[in-house]
Structure 1
């Protein structure tokens, strides 16, 4: 602390050229400046050292003191952040009308830079004795050897707010959300890929969007459809196929089903051929027509069986083709979600870690104050 006392001036030539005096601090006037918002409740100076008195009446006093104060800080981007803290220095004896506080400019580089507004020490306005002006400090932490672990007492009854989370927990929470979304996407893709025509029928709009439109923009190679007649819309159940099979089984005799090979091996199938041969050997159209009439039921049964096999094969091919279409739809959904999740992951990662980079101390941190507090 440094101030001037006109009552302590002298002429050095009259006193053997004395340029400096060291006297006990209890013998001179003191401004009684203390830190009001301290955390230990100690306002008195522990050691009252001597003061230096100069011929012009200026007094210099540097008592050893440790000022301990507290202020709420935001550790979201710690240690790449800046904080606003208030240190209330005021006189316990004199008001702002009686003393004029000025901040001494300090030279030297430190790990932390602290910029204090000197105008806050002026006290030019008329204030009550208990409402003296106090300086506001703005400091910026540099990443050296700081380590901070915010914790909440057990009996506080509340959790830490979002502002108290540093980027790493926020990033881990973001990764957890992304993982959950990926798992949900995998479940949806499996559900779509394992669908069959027996349980689901594919709408024409879904086929147009996921099999023709999106693969073109995603760069996916889709198998070309073979030219042919358009398939009829399948029902959601294979009841028709089962009914046809039951009709065939009921219409066909059990003995024929059990002994078809034996009938051919024992010559029972030769009866049809013999009937046709008799009609051809006679040479008359009437005998040939009669032989065809006699062999008609067997020929009709063979034709029906061939038609049934052809229809069953065609339906099975359609069934497999539509099942493959559901698999392709699942692949398209998986590819779309892949691009979305990659974009979300990259943007989220870059955004979370760049937020700390852009969290710089503003040039004018205090509204209405034209002073720039950033270090030069």
Structure 2
């Protein structure tokens, strides 16, 4: 009856968690305070909790325990020992298409607040707020599946990385050249030299490289690039690999972020760059730019809604009023940085959001207030690839 004990602990964990920090951090702290759980126990309890969160806004009237079991059923692609013990009547149906599996859950519950049966779209109920081109039902259903771990192979390292993966017996796919898709739990850092040979980077994030092609930017060697919301530096490393040696400046809001970036750059072999700390949402912030950049990369703070299949607790706790707050911050940032763009330069706007208000509407704001012209704009769908969904728009200043 161990799985019922795991279920009871999962109910306890969910009752204590209030969404104020990433769930992955919270549950590690929970287990750290109670040493009685072995590694298999911790894995099963965590899985049950994540199954609960993967239901998003669906089945609001079920009890926590019922909702966990429903989530486990909907997230299970095949029959398994845990489901066989917790809900034997559903276990043999685990391999059915998810649309049919919803009917099993609906048959034993009246959980919808409207009284209507739930289905995948109930998981993510904000259909009218989505960017163009998103299949609402498919996107909602994607929350029931754990995304892949993606690796971008750095230039010249293709053969070496594949040989190392093959030698370690690690299964992988290649959805695109230089892109490796692995099971999420793969211990890739034990096999290759991260950042030197390959970069952990989501498939859609790798596709941002399509917006950095030299012919699109008319970029010469040594182009001046400012990655203004650089975070850990993934887009900067991508730009370095696509454009060659660039005149790079990076910035972010906290010194600790820049410290992590510097460590990653050292591992990647990038030693020539400038960095500074600035709050770009503050119109009075000092921007330490010695020259006007010819390319600004603005991977701006956003709702992160295109990545919620990795952190489904954010979906569960999300309130749509946050969209307008993010849009306001995004408009402040782009207004602050575009004024530094050199004439004829390019501005690359990026989010990992699926909401139109953070995507197309901010691009319209840029066009209306700064007169930049769209060169290329695309929703980078990842929900059909077990990857993140992102948005990117490349604009040019005349």
* TM-score, normalized by the shorter chain, greater than 0.5: no
Question: Larger Cα Rg: Structure 1 or Structure 2?
Answer: 1
Q: Using structure 1 for the length normalisation, give the TM-score.
A: 0.17
Q: Using structure 2 for the length normalisation, give the TM-score.
A: 0.17
